[in-house]
Chains A and B, each alone.
Chain A
Amino acid sequence: MTPQILEIDQLSEGYIILITGLIIVFGSLIILSLFFKYGVPILLYVYKIITKGRDRKIKDITVAADEKFTGEIAAAIATAIHLYLHEKHDTENAILTIKQARKLYSPWSSKIYGTQNRL
């Protein structure tokens, strides 16, 4: 008798776990997906406001700090960057060594053309 009762008990508990488990799994993933659909954009927006403050119009931004920065300086920097990036010289090897010269055959000191040898 007892094992049978136990088995029935087990099965009913199994069904409870089945239902609640599925609900919890679905529920938690739904919460997660909803949070990422709606919660995260809000978070990011809040973060943006906190870090940057409200977006200002260009005319409101003061340029007092940049008075010394004239167009000429900008042009000089731009040219320098341009030259650095595009018109660089070839990098040459600074180490100077005498290369082994290719020896061409030259008969000027050849022994076989000596006076003792008769051709």
Chain B
Amino acid sequence: MKKILIIFGVLSLLIFIRPALGLNSVQTNTESTTIVQADEETGERFIDEAIGGIKQFYQYTGFANATSGHLLMIFIGIVFIYLGIKFDYEPLLLIPIGAGVIIGNIPFVAGNQTGIYETGSVLNYLYFGVVKGIYPPLIFLGIGAMTDFSSLIANPKLMLLGAAAQIGVFATFLGALYLGFALPEAGAIGIIGGADGPTAIFLSSKLANGVNIMADGTVVKNLIGPIAIAAYSYMALVPVIQPPLMRLLISKEDRKIRMKAPRAVSQKEKMLFPIIALILTTFISPSALPLLGMLFFGNLLKESGRTERLADTARTKLIDIVTILLGVTVGASTQADIFITKDSMLIFGLGAISFVIATMGGLLFAKFMNLFLKGEDRINPLIGAAGVSAVPDSARVVHAEALKSDPHNYLLMHAMAPNVSGVIGSAIAAGIILSFLG
């Protein structure tokens, strides 16, 4: 105990002495040119310089540079972490993003290559993957290697539900235009309705990256941060947003519809799916090639049966690494002076509306499909809500909601079909918007 106290005492003494000495030497270096003749009162000068050094040090601390915006954003970051831990809302995303928000909003003096927006800083290099759209395709590779498309192959008509939910994308796009955003910006905002974080980042990095120049000569705004944060936070809030809409739009009887078990899908079909889907979808929408190509490539790795090692890496280590980097840098990109603007607030509003429209589109289209289906083929309209991507959270929400009205109605497998087709649909939608506006 005594030894520890002594060591602690010596260490603290060293720590207190070092800055004084270090700053003293720096001070003499800088001021030697200006005040050379004032060396008669050395004793007083030393104390003055020490105090000056401390003052200078204070100018560099976060306490001196903090603004209310920084504090607000740090608070938001803590809320994200709290939501992730306490309520288990997509903790794999919210916790890195929340930590990133705190990291990005530590106040600092500009010009020392600290911040994420300063060229040459380490964070800026990591952010490169977001700005240039490198991370999203890698995440899609992992998603492809994780996803089992068999429920979709067994029941291909459920693919339409994934398309129906993309109404949210285009409706939000129009809403953003009405609010006065320029065309490329509106396109990037619209994709929030696709409920697909990587796609949203990919599209906004291509359209609203603050670099592109529009037809009338103005530079587009950099909206990657707000769009990504909006997309990811609403994805995490799917368990809050969707259930009320389901109860509102789907009657009690419809919620109890049981669907027949999907047929068994042969391995050959599973192998054919990624190849055929890759060729078909990218021929239609080539701009979505980085996303869809990687998605189906990942799925082929999984289903081929010969590349289990690669598939395993893609769905575990690789996607984990990219998620960590993506989460932290997207979080850090919310630097208060750039993030807290009227545009961001509008984007958050539009994002909420787009999720609502996308969910409603899916649910109503499922009801519409039921008009043409009879008997056992009828689908439970709840699975329409899984058409917004948000894999696999929205499918889980559908499953939980169906269990509430009928404790023996297991919809998870059925809901996965519109869920994964929602991923394909939103990637195609992103490709279309990109080809129109890019």
Asked if B280 and A40 sit within 8 Å, CB to CB, the answer is: no
Closest B-chain residue to A27, C-beta based?
A: B284
**Which of chain B's residues has its CB closest to A39's CB?**
B276
B127 within 8 A of A: no
> Which of A16-24, A64-72, A99-107 lies at the interface?
A16-24
Docked CA distance A33–B149 (Å): 12
Cβ A32 vs Cβ B281 within 8 A: yes
- What distance in Å separates the Cβ of A108 from its nearest Cβ neighbour in chain B? 58
Determine, out of B301-309, B320-328, B405-413, B429-437, the stretch whose residues face the partner at the interface: B429-437
* B80: interface (CB < 8 Å): no
Would A33 and B183 count as touching, CB distance under 8 A? no
A1-32, CB < 8 A from B? 6-7, 10-11, 13-15, 17-18, 20-22, 24-32
Q: Tell me if B220 is interfacial: C-beta within 8 Å of chain A.
A: no
Chain B nearest Cβ from A50, distance in angstroms: 13
Tell me the complex Cα distance, A21–B431, Å: 10
B116 to chain A, nearest CB (A): 31
A8 to B305, CA, bound (A): 54
Q: How many of chain B's residues touch chain A, expressed as a range?
A: 35 or more
- Residue B122 CB within 8 A of the other chain: no
Say which residue of A11, A22, A24 sits within 8 Å of B178 (CB atoms): A11
* Interface: A47 (CB within 8 A): yes
Question: Smallest distance from the beta carbon of A117 to chain B beta carbons, Å?
Answer: 55
Among the interface residues A14, A15, A21, A25, which one has the most CB atoms of the partner chain B within 10 A?
Answer: A25
Answer yes or no: A34 CB below 8 A from chain B CBs. yes
Report how many residues on chain A are interfacial, defined by Cβ distance under 8 Å. 31
Collect the chain A residues with CB atoms within 8 Å of residue B162's CB.
29
Q: Report whether B276 and A25 are in contact in the complex, using a CB–CB cutoff of 8 Å.
A: no
- When distances are taken between beta carbons in the complex, the residues of chain B under 8 Å from A30 are 159-160, 163
Within 8 Å CB of B436, what residues of A?
Answer: 17, 20-21
A29 touches B421 (CB 8 A): yes
Contact of A36 among B156, B173, B180, B281 (CB under 8 A): B156
* A21 in contact with B272 (CB, 8 Å): no
How far apart are the CA atoms of A25 and B166 in the complex, in Å? 8
Can you name 12 A-B pairs with beta carbons within 8 Å?
A6-B216, A11-B174, A14-B174, A18-B170, A21-B166, A26-B160, A28-B428, A29-B424, A32-B277, A33-B160, A34-B156, A35-B280
Nearest 6 Cβ contacts at the A-B interface: A33-B156, A36-B156, A33-B159, A29-B163, A14-B177, A28-B284
Binding site for A on B (CB under 8 A): 152-153, 156-160, 162-164, 166-167, 169-171, 173-174, 177-178, 180, 182-183, 186-187, 216, 266, 268-269, 272-273, 276-277, 280-281, 284-285, 421, 424-425, 428-429, 432-433, 436-437
